[in-house]
Amino acid sequence: MKIAVIDGQGGGIGRAVVDRLRDTLGEDVYIIALGTNALATAAMLKAGANEGATGENAIVVNVEKVDIIVGSVAILAVNAMTGELTQQMAAAIGKSEAKKILIPLNKCNIVLAGVENKPLPHYIDDVIQYIASIRDDYRK
């Protein structure tokens, strides 16, 4: 199973997701860290991603090569992450055939109605639990 973790700014959310994926699923997953900037990519690589790439072209190319994309809901919003997420990135992520597992952070003026407001670590737990529950489907 190939998983792209997409993050920007300081890469803190992506780092936490990669760390938990690696701790929980070990080598059962191949993790590609896709940062909107080098700092985010480096943070995710340090947490245990198998490989990393930075910038618009890297994200546009790699979202077509993975089974799952993980990131905050902001990765679908043009100009999110303080302007780091371009229109091309958002379009490529949205069009990708990969399953998108999004963390519902209420930023970028996006509020997801009906979603329980809880701390970020709990959302990351939900992401890991969901990926673990579907991993056998990708082993086939």
pLDDT digits (tens, 9 = 90+) for 92-110: 999 999 999 999 987 778 8
Separation CA 75–CA 70 (nearest Å): 9
Is it the case that residue 80 has pLDDT exceeding 70?
yes
Separation CA 29–CA 2 (nearest Å): 6
- pLDDT the model gives residue 83: 86
Rounded to two decimals, what is the model's pTM? 0.94
The neighbouring-strand residues paired with 6 are 34
In the chain, where the domains are located: 2-139
Is it the case that residue 136 has pLDDT exceeding 80?
no
Edge-to-edge strand order for the sheet containing 51-54?
51-54, 30-35, 2-7, 68-72, 99-103
pLDDT digits (tens, 9 = 90+) for 23-52: 999 988 999 999 999 999 999 999 999 999
- pLDDT the model gives residue 140: 56
Separation CA 120–CA 112 (nearest Å): 15
CATH topology of domain 2-139: Rossmann fold (3.40.50)
Please, which residues have CB within 8 angstroms of residue 5's CB and are 6 or more apart in sequence? 14, 17, 18, 21, 31, 32, 33, 34, 44, 49, 70, 71
Calculate the average pLDDT of the chain.
93
Q: Which whole number is the average pLDDT over 60-78?
A: 96
